[in-house]
Amino acid sequence: MHPGGKGANQAVAVARLGYPVEMIGRVGSDGFGEKLRAKLGESGVDASRVRTSEGPSGVAVIVVAPNGENAIVVTPGANAQLSPADVDENADAIRGAGAVLAQLEIPFPTVRRLAELCAAGNVPLILDPAPARPLPAELLAQVSWLTPNETEIAGCVAAGEGAGSADPLALAERLAHLVRSGVLLKLGSRGAFLAAKDGLRQPVAALRVEAVDTTAAGDAFNGAFAVGWMMGKTPAASAAFAAAASAVSVTRAGAQPSMATIEEVERLRAETGGG
């Protein structure tokens, strides 16, 4: 068993890279709840805004194939109790953030309220649209960076608005015009593709490593992209930094335990010539 959850994984990814991060979320009143909160603290995440809901914590069963690929079944548990009221209660932290990372393992109305608050305060919102679902235009207009993988991106487009396209790059092109800054399309072992609203189109090379477990590689990517951006890197340089962090993460098992330190990222980039 490993601590996980997309939001928690991304928070740990940021903390392991040495950047300060707070998490807003909910765990259950079961035996997992306090362990999850404690693990966040041990990883350097400020978990003081993680509340406890009566009932079970969120859990996931993950099956990993011999090539490192995975399949996941998630039971949301306390994550389903995170409400728009939780967003409003923590509005001060959100307005004061350099960037906000979010995903869709929490109720959609909560994500929408978060996006409204971020847009009103001009706080960059990085949204990982997983599990995938159609995203309305008004929400996309409040998102700075959308970070789907090539499976999820088709689910982001509403019916009648290009959802029939099977080409992830074409969908990234379309969505790049609807968000505030751009789309980072994660392509697994093939790297990523950056489609910025300002017209920049940049393939991001993957770094060659021996994959053990791809669980949370996308979360490692998102957390590192946010850190790169906060360090003042360009979107393209942030994406290259994120690709290296993701590559480190797939070389070991688990979700949060696989997250990279900045020393590991820079060492891998030096060894592989990854910029």
CB hemisphere CA count around 77 (13 angstroms): 23
Q: Which residues touch 66 (CB under 8 Å, ≥6 apart)?
A: none
Q: How far apart are CA 249 and CA 239, in angstroms?
A: 15
Helix (H, G, I), strand (E, B) or coil at 265: helix
From residue 256, alpha-carbon distances to 99, 177, 185, 190 in Å are 20, 33, 22, 23
Q: 């999820």: which residue's tokens? A: 152
Neighbouring-strand partners of residue 50: 25
From residue 124, alpha-carbon distances to 65, 92, 138, 143, 169 in Å are 36, 15, 16, 7, 23
Q: How far apart are CA 203 and CA 11, in angstroms?
A: 26
**Contact yes or no for 34/59 (Cβ under 8 A):** no
Q: How far apart are CA 142 and CA 124, in angstroms?
A: 9
Q: 């999850």: which residue's tokens? A: 36
Q: Given 86, 128, 213, 219, which residue is catalytic? A: 219
Tokens of 165: 């396209």
Asked about 198 being catalytic, the answer comes back as no
Q: How far apart are CA 261 and CA 258, in angstroms?
A: 10
Q: State the catalytic residues.
A: 219
